[in-house]
Structure 1
């Protein structure tokens, strides 16, 4: 699909539409939608900003490319003065005191936020069912899950309720729901976009990621959000990616894929057949394809969840109702902490906190947590070796198609395994993009760290190849 941002920008400039009418239409669609994508509407803010854009156009002033473009925000980002709940009971009445850097960059560019979007509570889930606002329903088939944890963001984009949305990706939480709903979803290189103002799940893999209907829209939004931020020491300055850079894919000579992903007994036969067919089409374009060896899916999943649970247990220890949150009084301070956390956290969040505290506890940290850290280093080293031999790694986004709503809640282990093809790239802190082509849940394009441009370039090449 062609760029929605460029199309709407031109319509605004040519006065074919007003920004106020555009925003009103999107707000109406969001309010009427039956996919459970909305946690809170930002009506007043959106309409005020739209009126300012219309005034600039009426006065003959030039507007920026993102000025007046409506977007959605996963409800784990701080936006000053708005409800920021993380889809949790604990923070259901919490209003943010400041705005996340990535969101502020978009506001500075003139983009208009419409909605805080439904998601798995604190990012804990792969289906957007672990939420106090009701399960997010898939954009294509409402009987199926919307994917997680950024399910509301992906569905809003797929249904065209928002032009783009900002999700958060820790182990696949942008890429997997993008695949489930046939849209583009990018996990950039770790640190390319500041995490300041994003509620931390696992700090070493958390990434801010855009979801959109086109590669061009992903590029535009990525450029605006990227950059060094003194409030996030892991962030770094990066060069802007131009439209022209994506048109030349001649530098891409070799593509790799992981044999064990495709030969796994867990992969759906149709997903496997479709992936291999996509590989043949790439070969037909004269690109060399190499089968690579990699860690077994079970190793990747167990390594990721060991570290992610440890980090979330640490990050969520601050949420005890003392400074903010839905405090429930007990007979004493210790009981107050206990009942506040027990009653307000979801079952999945409690499962991850307990698991994280277990692997960090004395007697287990050396055997489990430190081993997980060592494995992550080995996985990263494996990627470095791979990218000496190939330019791009291609993989299915998920081994299976979206489950029915309710199935994931019955089997948490199966939910964790649904992340088998995404978590490895998160551990390597690599740029990875879901494209809605190739298989029922799309394809995943990955490049070496800090090489986000190559990911978008290959995605552009695939548009006319598959």
Structure 2
């Protein structure tokens, strides 16, 4: 699909549409909340901003490429004055006191936030069912899950309710729902975009990620959000990626894929056959394809969840109802803390906190947590060696297709395993993009650290190849 951002920008400049009319149109699509993708609408502020854009155009002033473009925000980002609930009971009445850096950069560029989007509570889930606002429905088949945790963001883009949305990816939370809803979803290199103002799940793998319907729109949004931020010491300065730079993929000579992903008993037979067919089409274009050895997917999942649960137990320890949140009083302070957390956290969040505290507890941390850290280092080293042999790694996004709503809640273990092909790249802190081609749930393109440009290049190449 062509860039919606470019198309709408030109229509605004040519006065074929008004910004206020555009925002009204998107709000009218969001208001019925047919897919449970909406937590709250930012109607008043959005329309005020739209009127300012229309006034600039009427006065003959130049507007920026993103100016007046409506977008959605996963409800784990701070946006000053808006409800930021994390789709949780604990924070259902919490209003942000400030705005996340990534979101502020988009607003400064003129983009207009119109909706806070439904997601798994605190990002804990792979189906967007662990939410007080009701399960998000898949954009293609409403009986199926939307994926998670950024399910609402992916659905809103897929249904054209937003031009793009900003999700959050810890272990696949942008890429997996993008695959389930046939849109593009990027997890950039860790540190390329500031995490300041994103509610922390697992700080060592949390990434801000755009979801859109074209590679070009992903590029535009990525450029605006990228850059060093004094409020996030993990960030770094990165070069802007130009449209011309990703239009030619001649420097990509070798593609690799993990044969144990494809030979796994867990992979759906159709996803396997479609993936291998895509590999053959890539070979036909003269690109060398190599089979790579990697950690078994169950090791990747267990390593990721060991570390992610430990980090979430630590990060969520601050949420006890004392400073913010839905406090429940009991007979003493300790009991108040206990009942506040017990009643207000979802079952999945409690499961992850309990698991994380177990991992970090005396007698277990050496045996489990430190082993997890060592495995993460080994995984990262494995990737470094792989990228000495290949330019790109291609993989399925998920081993299976979206389950029916309700099934994942009955089987949390199966939900964790749906992340089998995404979590490894998170542990490696690598740039990875889901594209809506190749299999029913898309393909995943990965490059070495800081090579986000290469990922977008190969995505453009695959548009005309498979």
TM-score category of the 2 structures, normalised to the smaller one = over 0.9
Q: Report the Cα distance in structure 2 between the residues aligned to 1:252 and 1:410, rounded to whole angstroms.
A: 43
Describe the SS at the equivalent of 1:95. coil
How does the TM-score come out when normalised to structure 1? 1.00
Q: Distance in 2 between matches of 1:330 and 1:338?
A: 9
Tell me the CA shift for residue 130 of structure 1.
0.1
Once residues 33 and 173 of structure 2 are traced to their aligned partners in structure 1, the CA distance between those partners, rounded to angstroms, is 22
Please give the alpha-carbon distance, in whole angstroms, between the structure 2 residues aligned to 1:25 and 1:393: 40
Q: How does 1:101-180 map onto structure 2 within 5 Å?
A: 101-180=101-180
| CA displacement, residues 342-393 of structure 1 (integer Å, 9 cap, x when unaligned) | 0000000000000000000000000000000000000000000000000000
* Correspondence 1:177-326 to 2 at 5 A: 177-326=177-326
3-state SS of the aligned residue for 1:32?
Answer: coil
Cα deviation, 1:167-215, whole Å, max 9, x if unaligned, reads 0000000000000000000000000000000000000000000000000
What residue is the counterpart of 1:455 in the other structure? 455
Whole-angstrom CA distance in 1 between matches of 2:198 and 2:458: 29
Note if 1:83 corresponds to 2:83: yes
The offset of 1:8, in angstroms, is 0.1
| Partner deviation per Cα, 1:25-67 (whole Å, 9 max, x = no partner) | 1001000231000001000010000000000000000000000
Q: Distance in 2 between matches of 1:138 and 1:298?
A: 26
| Structure-1 separation of matches of 2:103 and 2:412 | 32
CA-to-aligned-CA distance 1:411-433 (integer Å, 9 cap, x gap): 00000000000000000000000
Q: Give the drift of 1:446.
A: 0.1
The alpha-carbon deviation at position 21 of structure 1 amounts to 0.3
Q: What is the rounded CA distance, in whole Å, between the counterparts of 1:299 and 1:343 in structure 2?
A: 33
Question: Can you give the 5+ residue segments of structure 1 that lack an aligned partner in the other structure?
Answer: none
Summarize the alignment of residues 382-393 of structure 1 with structure 2, pairs less than 5 Å apart.
382-393=382-393
Deviations 1:275-306 (A, max 9, x none): 00000000000000000000001100000000
Q: What whole-Å deviation, never above 9, does each CA across 1:88-123 have from its counterpart, x for those lacking one? A: 000000000000000000000000000000000000
Distance 2:310 2:33 in 1: 37
C-alpha separation in 1, matches of 2:128 and 2:250: 39
1:16-31 to structure 2, matched below 5 A, reads 16-31=16-31
Q: CA shift at 1:15, angstroms?
A: 0.1
SS state of the match for residue 211, structure 1? Answer: strand
TM-score w.r.t. length of structure 2: 1.00
Q: Deviations over 1:242-291 (max 9, x none)?
A: 00001110100000000000000100000000000000000000000000
Q: 1:367-386 residue pairs with structure 2 within 5 A? A: 367-386=367-386
Q: How many Å separate the matches in 2 of 1:88 and 1:74?
A: 13
- Number of the residue aligned with 1:99: 99
CA–CA separation in structure 2 for the residues paired with 1:256 and 1:202: 28
**Given the alignment of the two structures, is residue 438 of structure 1 paired with residue 438 of structure 2, yes or no?**
yes
The CA deviation at 1:224 is 0.2
Give unmatched runs, 5+ long, in structure 2. Answer: none
Structure 1 residues 423-449: Cα deviation after superposition (integer angstroms, max 9, x where no partner):
000000000000000000000000000
Secondary structure of the structure 1 residue equivalent to 2:90: coil
State the alpha-carbon separation in 1 of the partners of residues 87 and 247 from structure 2.
40
Q: Does 1:347 align with 2:360?
A: no
Alpha-carbon distance in 1 for matches of 2:213, 2:31: 21
For residues 300 and 50 of structure 1, the distance between their equivalents in structure 2, rounded to whole angstroms, comes to 46
Moved over 3 A (4+): none
Q: Aligned partners of 1:37 and 1:266: how far apart in 2?
A: 29
Distance 1:35 1:169 in 2: 21
Structure 2 counterpart SS, 1:433: strand
Please give the alpha-carbon distance, in whole angstroms, between the structure 2 residues aligned to 1:384 and 1:346. 38
